[in-house]
A = this chain, B = another copy of it.
């Protein structure tokens, strides 16, 4: 490859403009250097292989915890440390690459990059110390392992997770004040409790003194907020005198209900403010980059600046190298309405959005049987079958069959008649699938977005395996059998889909599914850090023995300190920090918060020391007060946006244009199999036009417009915001955009509509 400096100026401009467009298309929000050499580097940085490699190394780095002591699958220290060194090198290389393509000012002002560098250095120091101590046979703590999620968060690729973290960070000051107030209220109630109950000589169920130590009281009252020890903590006082229940009821109302709601209000309010600010920033940045690209390529034609058609085509080819000619023609049709041979500014600015719209080929989707033997397929008997299958009653009949099947599943399988019935159901389902494949086009039926059909197909397949193959192998593979069992029951989901009202709720839930994975990432990061700390602190304190193991230790979780404790009595031994998988399950249990919280804290306090309680309280504050509230805020927001859009249409300018030109299909139509008639109608309407030769190239190519229902909150909000920027608006400067803050988001004069 020759040096980029030898390229002619025009080629360099094109590459630069394409970099801007590609950035706008994928909503990347970092500026890059515009020198010719770095443009190539920038393309390479954003190439999927480089991104894939980064994710691979992050995965390797995080999964090392499975192989290090305390390990699920132990590996020698040498192997894991070499793997970690490799990962660190890869991260460092990626960072250097990033530094080469971004302006220096931006690079060093970005805390992400500083974070990564500090973490790399700290990890190296820790590795060296631990390694040398290990060589001298001294056991020490691998504390830097808790820092590993930093890499997952801070690389520019995981923008979503980082956004959630930023949301949390911005919420912290506000949360802190409420939290202090909350702790103050706990303190006041503790003092009251001490005065009220301390001198009464009351005893708890276990016989220990009740409400005599201020620290104990504060812990008990904090746990009461999580509702874990209610009403146990109240019973001794309540038994003594009915009036004392008022103390606990007041406490619960103030701290559990009011304060927890205030936490949610603060988190949600900040989440909303922050989300809007981010979206405003992204939309302005996109606009800014598209204008930059336009300014590079523009030429003056008549009175206005435009981009020539040839230039425009070359640009699109650079941005999406594998674009087909017919696809490009279609895009041009939208962008250059008047066939003037050039694209004006307004249309050029839409290019990034246009490239994001999926293009589908439609009219080849004729049923293969129809092509193969048209006479038979179009015969009246065949048409009757097709009409029957398309009819609503067909769906209802099968819903009833599934429900009967569900009742059979619930009944005992050992009765011979019932296990035979399973064969009947299987054949009914296979007949259904065959009939549907006969009626609908197979590729449309198993289309990429036909979620429900896939579920059905899978479950049918699973059931087939279950009934036909497994009796032969006779339950030899436990886990596969379990999965098949689950799939068999998932058939029931089909009944829901056929009821329209449910479909809306389910659709919204599926719709927010991908973004929910972001929270999966967030929770994973928090869990990982706490799991590493927990493993270092509590490893081996509690052991789990197989149920059939009858050693005297087995009932005490291998620790004599747990004798007679509720922890051992309720068989909680499996809840331990002895490996990563167990730790995650324990943390999940703690997130749900219940009796378990107290038992665990109590149990681990017995075997280690009182500081264990701090670990559990810390986890509760981080996860329940911050993470769970952000999660609830996210779901609330998604549903509120869905509700506020229920009665209105949000259509972007592009969608309008696509609809006007008749080259778009709604995703709903594709899903419901209504498509062919629809498109035919449009086709015939089109034939009257005078551009027949152009049409031939485009034949069957259509834009697939995502249904409003299937768009995420982010996309919807961004579209709304963009539709509110005037097309001629140049927007603020880059520096202004990068320093947008969420505090100036509220309208100065709230009105009745948006106030609440």
Interface residues of A (CB under 8 A from B): 177-178, 180-181, 184, 187-188, 191-192, 194-196, 199, 205, 214, 227-232, 234-235, 238-240, 242-243, 245, 249, 252, 256-258, 261-262, 264-266, 268-269, 272, 275-276, 406, 409-410, 413, 479, 482, 485-486, 488-490, 492-493, 496, 501-502, 505-506, 509, 544, 547, 569-572, 574-575, 581-582, 585, 588-589, 592-596, 628, 631-632, 635-637, 639-641, 643-648, 650, 713, 716-717, 720-721, 724, 746-756
Residues of B contacting A214 with CB < 8 Å? Answer: 410
From B266, B749, B756, A641 is in contact (CB under 8 Å) with B756
A195 B265 Cβ-Cβ under 8 A: no
Give the residues in chain B near A205, CB-CB below 8 Å: 569-571
**Per a CB cutoff under 8 Å, which of B261, B643, B717 touches A636?**
B261
> Please, which residues of chain B bring their CB within 8 A of the CB of A753?
747, 754
Q: Which residues of B contact A571 (CB under 8 A)?
A: 205, 235, 239
Find out whether the CB atom of A191 lies under 8 angstroms from the CB atom of B409.
yes
Partner pick for A645 among B181, B256, B644, B750, CB 8 A cutoff? B750
Q: Is the CB of A410 within 8 A of B191?
A: yes
CB distance from A516 to the nearest CB of B (A): 8
Instruction: Give chain B nearest CB distance to A484 CB in angstroms.
Output: 10
Contact between B635 and A265 (Cβ–Cβ < 8 Å)?
A: yes
Contact B489 A192 (CB under 8 A): yes
Do B195 and A489 have beta carbons less than 8 Å apart?
yes
Contact across chains for A585 and B238 when beta carbons are under 8 A apart:
yes
Contact between A746 and B644, CB atoms less than 8 A apart? yes
Q: Find A755's partner among B184, B581, B636, B717 (CB 8 Å cutoff).
A: B717
- Given the interface pairs A275-B756, A640-B756, A644-B755, the reply to whether A196 lies near B482 with Cβ below 8 Å is yes
Q: Which of B192, B245, B413 contacts A485 (CB 8 A)?
A: B192
Complex-state Cα separation, A105 to B632, whole angstroms: 46
A306 to chain B, nearest CB (A): 30
Interface contact B720-A750, CB-CB below 8 Å: yes
Q: How far is the CB of A673 from chain B (nearest CB, A)?
A: 24
Q: Is B265's CB under 8 angstroms from A639's CB?
A: yes
Contacts of A596 in B (CB 8 A): 230-232
CA–CA, A646 and B270, complex, Å: 14
Report whether B228 and A194 are in contact in the complex, using a CB–CB cutoff of 8 Å. no
* Least Cβ–Cβ distance between A66 and chain B, in angstroms: 13
Question: Which residues of B are found within 8 Å of A187, using beta-carbon distances?
Answer: 406, 492
Query: Are A239 and B750 closer than 8 Å at their CB atoms?
Result: no
Given that A238-B574, A238-B585, A489-B191 are known contacts, is A650 also in contact with B750, CB under 8 Å in the complex? yes
Choice from B262, B490, B589, B631 contacting A261 with Cβ under 8 Å? B631
The count of identical subunits is: 2
User: CB-nearest residue of chain B relative to A488?
Assistant: B195
Can you give 7 A-B contacts (C-beta < 8 A)?
Answer: A177-B505, A178-B505, A188-B492, A231-B575, A238-B574, A264-B632, A647-B746
Interchain CB contact (< 8 A) of A632 among B261, B272, B752: B261
Distance between A291 CB and nearest chain B CB, rounded to angstroms: 21
Bound Cα distance from A635 to B482, whole angstroms:
45
The answer to whether residues A574 and B239 also contact, given A489-B188, A747-B753, A754-B754 and a CB cut-off of 8 A, is yes
Shortest distance from the beta carbon of A550 to any chain B beta carbon, whole Å: 15
Bound together, the chains give a CA A231 to CA B589 distance in angstroms of 6
Residue numbers in B under 8 Å from A747 (CB-CB): 648, 753
Name the one of B490, B585, B594 contacting A188, with C-beta atoms under 8 angstroms: B490
Q: Compute how far the CA of A268 lies from the CA of B265 in the bound complex, rounded to whole angstroms.
A: 12
Bound together, the chains give a CA A750 to CA B496 distance in angstroms of 30
Are A724 and B752 in contact (CB-based, < 8 A)? yes
Residues of B within 8 A of A188 (CB): 489-490, 492-493
Closest chain B CB from A73 CB (angstroms): 13
Contact for A502 among B181, B637, B643, B751, CB less than 8 A: B181
Chain B: CB-nearest residue to A484: B195
Least distance between A186 CB and chain B CB atoms (Å):
12
Known: A195-B489, A205-B569, A205-B571. 9 other contacts (CB 8 A): A188-B489, A191-B492, A195-B485, A196-B486, A205-B570, A265-B636, A269-B639, A641-B755, A641-B756
**Could you tell me if A588 and B628 are in contact, using CB atoms closer than 8 angstroms?**
no
Instruction: Give the complex CA separation of A136 and B673 in angstroms.
Output: 71
The docked-state distance in angstroms from the alpha carbon of A320 to that of B238 is: 49
Closest chain B residue to A748 by CB distance? B648
What's the least CB distance linking A219 to chain B, in Å?
A: 14
For the complex of A and B, list the 4 residue pairs with the smallest distance between their C-beta atoms, beginning with the closest: A754-B754, A265-B639, A261-B635, A195-B485
CB-based contact A245/B636 at 8 Å: no
- What are the residues of chain B within 8 A of A239 when measuring CB–CB? 544, 547, 571, 574
Interface contact B748-A647, CB-CB below 8 Å: yes
**Complex contact B636–A485 (CB within 8 A):** no
Chain B, Cβ-Cβ closest to A245: B585
Among B256, B275, B485, B581, contact of A242 (Cβ-Cβ < 8 Å): B581
CA distance A482 to B569 in the complex (A): 38
Inter-chain contacts of A746 with B (CB < 8 A): 643-644, 646-648
Q: A635 to B191, Cβ gap below 8 A?
A: no
Report whether A181 and B589 are in contact in the complex, using a CB–CB cutoff of 8 Å: no
When A585-B245, A748-B648 are in contact, do A409 and B195 touch as well, CB less than 8 Å?
Answer: yes
How near does chain B come to A72, taking the closest CB pair, in angstroms?
10
Report chain B residues within 8 Å CB of A593.
227
Q: Are A232 and B570 in contact (CB under 8 A)?
A: yes
- The complex places the Cα of A191 from the Cα of B4 at a distance, in Å, of 63
Partner of A505 from the list B181, B231, B748 (CB cut-off 8 Å) is B181
How far, in angstroms, from A700 to B364 measured CA to CA in the complex?
Answer: 88
Q: Which of A178, A180, A235, A569 has the largest count of B CB atoms less than 10 A from its CB?
A: A235
Give the complex CA separation of A713 and B752 in angstroms: 12
Which residues from B are CB-within-8-Å of A258?
A: 509, 635
Instruction: From A485, A492, A643, name the one whose CB has the most chain B CB atoms within 10 angstroms.
Output: A643
> With A191-B492, A228-B594, A756-B637 as given contacts, are A572 and B235 in contact (CB-CB < 8 Å)?
yes
Given A191-B409, A592-B252 in contact, is the A266-B639 Cβ separation under 8 Å?
yes
B181 to A276, Cβ gap below 8 A? Answer: no
Q: A258-B509, A645-B750, A647-B748 are in contact. Are A594 and B592 (CB under 8 A)?
A: no
With A748-B647, A754-B753 as contacts: A631 and B257 at CB distance below 8 Å: yes
Q: Which chain B residues lie closer than 8 Å to A574 at the CB level?
A: 235, 238-239
> Given the complex of chains A and B, what is the CA–CA distance between A609 and B100 in angstroms?
74
Contacting residues, chain B, for A275 (C-beta < 8 A): 756
